[in-house]
Amino acid sequence: MKSFKLFLICLCFFGVKLQGQIDSLKLKITHLVGDYFGYTTYHAFNGLLFPSNSMYLVSDSGVVMFDTPWDSTQFQPLLDSIWTRHHKKVVFCIATHYHADRTAGLEFLNQKGIKTYTSYQTYRLCAIHHEKQSSFFFLNDTSFSVGQYRFNTFYPGEGHTPDNIVLWFDTEKILYGGCLIKSTENTSLGNIADANLILWPLTMKKLIKKFRCANYVIPGHFGWLHKKSLRHTLRLLKQNR
């Protein structure tokens, strides 16, 4: 009985400690270059805090988000932080695949009147897996213009998921890869429940060839200080075999 009580006390202690960590981290915004910013939010996953990277772009016509926070408690704080820092509202958002760490905030943004987009593949998979859906979808690789900026979506093939796309910002040579690309801090492929481990290496080779001039490569989780994430992901895939 004493052991059971001790277990409950420990459980409560670690739960409070974890909540305290979440409250203190919540949101981290990092300036990349020019009007481009990375942001990291944190989600409790299997008892640990897990960082999730996303991006946003500040234009004359408003702010564009690329993917959403994972944790619902961080949806509004992100919008508030963007407004406080830039005095501009978010005008639309593009999510890069159907998992919740990319799409969890889509419904929230829809309700705010912010336009949300995904590929049709992602839109369909969100419906199948009961994830939040965008208001709009595009069928093929698409160029978007907002204010003075233009950027492109690119579907390189299956990898982390069947629908994963990347975003390319040619002016500053930024490749936003989402969960298709693993940080150089990663020692494993992470969640491969929906991965195509046969095609993923081919997809990475296509990215390496197409975006060899990238100045920034932003993975879905953990650090992005090094541009070698593409080749590192390919090495992890070879090790996994």
Question: Is position 19 within any domain?
Answer: no
Q: What would the DSSP string read from start to end of 43-102? A: EEETTEEEEEEEEEEEETTEEEEES--SSGGGHHHHHHHHHHHHS--EEEEE-SSSSHHH
Examine the residue annotation and report whether 31 is marked as an active-site residue of this protein: no
The answer to whether 114 and 92 are in contact (CB under 8 A) is yes
Q: Taking the chain, what is the end-to-end CA distance rounded to the nearest angstrom?
A: 48
Examine the residue annotation and report whether 86 is marked as an active-site residue of this protein: no
Please give the Cα distance from 220 to 182 (Å, whole number). Answer: 7
Examine the residue annotation and report whether 160 is marked as an active-site residue of this protein: yes
Catalytic member of 160, 163, 221, 232: 160
**Cβ neighbour number for residue 45 with a 10 Å cutoff:** 13
Number of domains in the chain: 1
Please give the Cα distance from 69 to 39 (Å, whole number). Answer: 9
Residue 225 pLDDT: 78
Question: Is position 9 within any domain?
Answer: no
State how far Cα 196 lies from the chain centre: 19
Question: Is position 116 within any domain?
Answer: yes
Question: Residue 77 belongs to what domain range?
Answer: 27-240
Catalytic member of 67, 71, 101, 163: 101
Examine the residue annotation and report whether 99 is marked as an active-site residue of this protein: yes
CATH number for the domain that contains residue 32: 3.60.15.10
Catalytic member of 53, 71, 97, 221: 97
Question: Is position 1 within any domain?
Answer: no
The answer to whether 74 and 104 are in contact (CB under 8 A) is no
Examine the residue annotation and report whether 97 is marked as an active-site residue of this protein: yes
Residue 44 pLDDT: 83
pLDDT (tens place) for every residue of the chain, 241 residues total: 333 333 333 333 333 344 444 455 689 999 999 999 999 999 887 778 889 999 999 999 999 999 999 989 999 999 999 999 999 999 999 999 999 999 999 999 999 999 999 999 999 999 999 999 999 999 999 999 999 999 999 999 999 999 999 999 999 999 999 999 999 999 999 999 999 999 999 999 999 999 999 999 999 999 997 789 999 999 999 998 7
Catalytic member of 152, 191, 194, 196: 191
Question: Is position 7 within any domain?
Answer: no
Question: Is position 21 within any domain?
Answer: no
Backbone angles phi, psi at 117, to 5 degrees: -135, 145
Question: Is position 66 within any domain?
Answer: yes
Catalytic member of 99, 163, 164, 221: 99
Question: Is position 230 within any domain?
Answer: yes
The answer to whether 218 and 53 are in contact (CB under 8 A) is yes
